[in-house]
Amino acid sequence: MIKGKILVIGILLLVLFSFEVTMLHSVSLGKEKSSIEKVEELLKNKKPFVIDFYADWCPPCNAMAPIMEKLEKKYKNKVEIIRVNVDLSKNRSLVLKYRVVSIPTFVFINSKGEVSNIIIGYREMEVMENEFRKLLQQQSKSGK
Protein backbone atom coordinates (compact mmCIF):
# COMPACT_ATOMS: atom_id res chain seq x y z
CA MET A 1 0.00 0.00 0.00
CA ILE A 2 2.75 2.44 0.97
CA LYS A 3 4.83 1.46 -2.09
CA GLY A 4 1.85 2.30 -4.31
CA LYS A 5 1.43 5.73 -2.73
CA ILE A 6 5.14 6.46 -3.06
CA LEU A 7 5.00 5.40 -6.72
CA VAL A 8 2.02 7.70 -7.38
CA ILE A 9 3.73 10.62 -5.64
CA GLY A 10 6.92 9.96 -7.62
CA ILE A 11 5.01 9.94 -10.90
CA LEU A 12 3.20 13.16 -10.00
CA LEU A 13 6.49 14.85 -9.12
CA LEU A 14 8.01 13.69 -12.41
CA VAL A 15 5.03 15.02 -14.38
CA LEU A 16 5.15 18.37 -12.56
CA PHE A 17 8.90 18.67 -13.06
CA SER A 18 8.68 17.90 -16.79
CA PHE A 19 5.82 20.42 -17.15
CA GLU A 20 7.88 23.09 -15.37
CA VAL A 21 10.93 22.40 -17.57
CA THR A 22 8.74 22.59 -20.68
CA MET A 23 7.25 25.90 -19.55
CA LEU A 24 10.69 27.34 -18.76
CA HIS A 25 11.94 26.20 -22.16
CA SER A 26 9.02 27.82 -23.96
CA VAL A 27 9.47 31.05 -21.99
CA SER A 28 13.18 31.17 -22.77
CA LEU A 29 12.45 30.71 -26.46
CA GLY A 30 9.50 33.11 -26.20
CA LYS A 31 10.54 35.56 -28.91
CA GLU A 32 7.93 34.16 -31.28
CA LYS A 33 4.50 35.68 -30.80
CA SER A 34 1.63 33.49 -29.74
CA SER A 35 -1.37 33.04 -32.00
CA ILE A 36 -3.42 35.23 -29.66
CA GLU A 37 -0.84 38.03 -29.87
CA LYS A 38 -0.73 37.76 -33.67
CA VAL A 39 -4.53 38.01 -33.91
CA GLU A 40 -4.59 41.03 -31.58
CA GLU A 41 -1.83 42.74 -33.55
CA LEU A 42 -3.57 42.21 -36.90
CA LEU A 43 -6.89 43.44 -35.50
CA LYS A 44 -5.15 46.56 -34.18
CA ASN A 45 -3.33 47.16 -37.49
CA LYS A 46 -6.54 46.63 -39.48
CA LYS A 47 -5.04 43.98 -41.74
CA PRO A 48 -7.09 41.18 -43.31
CA PHE A 49 -6.15 37.70 -42.18
CA VAL A 50 -7.24 34.09 -42.04
CA ILE A 51 -7.13 31.89 -38.95
CA ASP A 52 -6.47 28.27 -39.90
CA PHE A 53 -7.64 26.05 -37.03
CA TYR A 54 -6.10 22.58 -37.37
CA ALA A 55 -4.66 19.55 -35.57
CA ASP A 56 -1.62 17.50 -36.55
CA TRP A 57 -3.60 14.25 -36.52
CA CYS A 58 -6.37 15.57 -38.83
CA PRO A 59 -6.21 14.21 -42.44
CA PRO A 60 -8.32 17.03 -43.99
CA CYS A 61 -6.15 19.59 -42.16
CA ASN A 62 -3.03 17.97 -43.58
CA ALA A 63 -4.58 17.95 -47.06
CA MET A 64 -5.31 21.69 -46.75
CA ALA A 65 -1.76 22.58 -45.65
CA PRO A 66 -0.22 22.72 -49.17
CA ILE A 67 -3.16 24.78 -50.45
CA MET A 68 -2.78 27.27 -47.62
CA GLU A 69 0.99 27.42 -48.18
CA LYS A 70 0.45 28.33 -51.85
CA LEU A 71 -2.07 31.01 -50.90
CA GLU A 72 0.25 32.35 -48.22
CA LYS A 73 3.02 32.79 -50.83
CA LYS A 74 0.67 34.28 -53.42
CA TYR A 75 -0.95 36.78 -51.02
CA LYS A 76 2.16 37.59 -48.97
CA ASN A 77 1.98 41.07 -47.38
CA LYS A 78 -1.71 41.29 -48.37
CA VAL A 79 -3.49 38.59 -46.34
CA GLU A 80 -1.85 37.00 -43.32
CA ILE A 81 -2.50 33.39 -42.31
CA ILE A 82 -2.33 32.38 -38.66
CA ARG A 83 -2.20 28.64 -37.99
CA VAL A 84 -3.77 27.64 -34.68
CA ASN A 85 -3.35 24.12 -33.35
CA VAL A 86 -6.59 23.32 -31.51
CA ASP A 87 -4.87 20.67 -29.40
CA LEU A 88 -2.69 23.20 -27.57
CA SER A 89 -4.23 24.55 -24.39
CA LYS A 90 -2.65 27.98 -25.00
CA ASN A 91 -4.95 28.32 -28.05
CA ARG A 92 -8.15 27.42 -26.20
CA SER A 93 -9.35 31.04 -25.94
CA LEU A 94 -9.17 31.49 -29.73
CA VAL A 95 -10.95 28.18 -30.31
CA LEU A 96 -13.73 29.31 -27.97
CA LYS A 97 -13.88 32.87 -29.30
CA TYR A 98 -14.43 31.71 -32.88
CA ARG A 99 -16.59 28.75 -31.79
CA VAL A 100 -14.55 26.11 -33.57
CA VAL A 101 -16.30 22.75 -33.31
CA SER A 102 -14.80 20.99 -36.32
CA ILE A 103 -11.48 21.07 -38.12
CA PRO A 104 -10.15 22.33 -40.34
CA THR A 105 -11.92 25.63 -39.82
CA PHE A 106 -10.86 28.78 -41.65
CA VAL A 107 -12.02 32.10 -40.22
CA PHE A 108 -11.67 35.04 -42.62
CA ILE A 109 -11.28 38.40 -40.87
CA ASN A 110 -11.54 41.60 -42.92
CA SER A 111 -9.62 44.83 -42.33
CA LYS A 112 -12.46 46.12 -40.12
CA GLY A 113 -11.85 43.19 -37.76
CA GLU A 114 -15.12 41.51 -38.72
CA VAL A 115 -15.57 37.85 -39.58
CA SER A 116 -16.35 37.90 -43.29
CA ASN A 117 -16.72 34.14 -43.69
CA ILE A 118 -16.05 30.80 -42.04
CA ILE A 119 -15.20 27.69 -44.04
CA ILE A 120 -15.24 24.28 -42.39
CA GLY A 121 -13.60 21.24 -43.91
CA TYR A 122 -11.53 20.56 -46.99
CA ARG A 123 -12.00 22.92 -49.96
CA GLU A 124 -10.34 23.16 -53.34
CA MET A 125 -7.74 25.84 -54.06
CA GLU A 126 -10.20 27.89 -56.15
CA VAL A 127 -12.74 28.13 -53.33
CA MET A 128 -10.12 29.28 -50.85
CA GLU A 129 -8.55 31.75 -53.27
CA ASN A 130 -11.97 33.24 -53.96
CA GLU A 131 -12.29 34.00 -50.23
CA PHE A 132 -8.86 35.67 -50.22
CA ARG A 133 -9.97 37.85 -53.13
CA LYS A 134 -13.16 38.79 -51.25
CA LEU A 135 -11.09 39.90 -48.27
CA LEU A 136 -8.98 42.15 -50.49
CA GLN A 137 -12.08 43.54 -52.26
CA GLN A 138 -13.63 44.41 -48.90
CA GLN A 139 -10.40 46.16 -47.95
CA SER A 140 -10.29 48.24 -51.15
CA LYS A 141 -13.98 49.20 -50.74
CA SER A 142 -13.29 50.44 -47.24
CA GLY A 143 -10.64 52.79 -48.61
CA LYS A 144 -7.50 51.01 -47.42
For 29-82, the pLDDT digits (tens) are 445 688 889 999 988 988 899 999 999 999 999 999 999 999 999 999 999 999
Look up 8 and say whether it is catalytic. Answer: no
Under 8 Å between Cβ of 135 and 106: no
Delimit the domains of the chain by residue range. 1-32, 35-141
The residue from 36, 55, 58, 136 that is catalytic is 58
**pLDDT tens digit string along 67-118?**
999 999 999 999 999 999 999 999 999 999 999 999 999 999 999 999 999 9
106 a catalytic residue = no
Can you give the pLDDT at residue 69? Answer: 97
Give phi and psi for 57, each to the nearest 5: -85, 0
What ranges make up the beta strands (E) of 22-121?
49-54, 80-85, 105-109, 115-120
- Domain at 35-141: CATH architecture: 3-Layer(aba) Sandwich (3.40)
Which of the residues 42, 50, 51, 61 is marked catalytic?
A: 61
| pTM over the 0.85 mark | no
Pairing assessment for the beta strands 115-120 and 105-109 based on DSSP bridges: antiparallel
26: pLDDT strictly greater than 50: no
The contacts of residue 19 (CB under 8 Å, 6+ apart) are none
